[in-house]
Amino acid sequence: MMGLSQSHLRAARRRGVTLLELLVVVTLMGTLSTVVVTRYGRDIFGDIGARSDAQKLWMDLQHARGVAIRNGTVVSVSFEKSSSGQYSGYKITEKSGSRQIDVYERAQFGSDIVVTSTSAAVQFTFEGHATSASTIKLKGPSRSWTLTIVPLSGSVRISET
């Protein structure tokens, strides 16, 4: 080879990553991610589930209030208990005359989430007012969210506690 020294040739060949180096890096990353997920994964995913369930319940309560105002009826969000006595989900129903209509199919809470409520149901009148004050708490492994229903305005507030 003209004008190229041995060190230049070795440097030109050494620019890429070998398969062995790539395999070592992937193995180390897999091992570290396994350690992190087993140590923190359940809590992190449980908290994300509690947060998403709290936000979904907040949106459904807002939706129920909107249906009550729009249709001029009473709309209820009823919490359902499982066989173990814990709240496992809720359903939204609308009372129109003597009939009760399901507005929304049953929603289920995550299995890692503990839900408590000051009342078994939240009702909104045709004016959008809540019939009583209610507080609903959703507790994940290390974080909790509280939904507060204000009776006079019917507004629903969500906060991390």
Radius of gyration from C-alpha coordinates of the chain: 27
Residue 35 pLDDT class (50, 70, 90 cuts): confident
Q: Is residue 16, in this structure, part of any structural domain at all?
A: no
pLDDT of residue 19 exceeding 90:
no
Residue 33 pLDDT class (50, 70, 90 cuts): confident
The upper half-sphere exposure of residue 160, i.e. CA atoms within 13 Å in the direction of its Cβ, equals 8
Length of the chain equals 161
Q: Which of 2-6, 65-69, 107-111 has the highest mean pLDDT?
A: 65-69
By residue range, what is the domain housing residue 147? 33-160
Q: Is residue 12, in this structure, part of any structural domain at all?
A: no
Q: Report the CATH number at residue 100.
A: 3.55.40.10
CB neighbour burial string for 86-115, b if at least 16 within 10 angstroms, e if fewer: ebbbbbbbbeeeeeeeebbeebebbebbeb
Q: Tell me what pLDDT residue 146 has.
A: 93
| pLDDT tens by residue, 76-107 | 999 988 888 888 899 998 887 666 676 667 78
Residue 122 pLDDT class (50, 70, 90 cuts): very high
Return phi, psi of residue 141, to 5°.
-60, -35
Q: Is residue 100, in this structure, part of any structural domain at all?
A: yes
Q: Is residue 87, in this structure, part of any structural domain at all?
A: yes
Residue 42 pLDDT class (50, 70, 90 cuts): low
pLDDT of residue 8 exceeding 80:
no
Cα 61 to Cα 48, 71, 78, 90: the distances in Å are 20, 15, 11, 11
Asked if residue 161 lies in contact with residue 51, where contact means CB atoms within 8 angstroms, the answer is no
Total domain count for the chain? 1
Mean pLDDT of the 38-50 span = 64
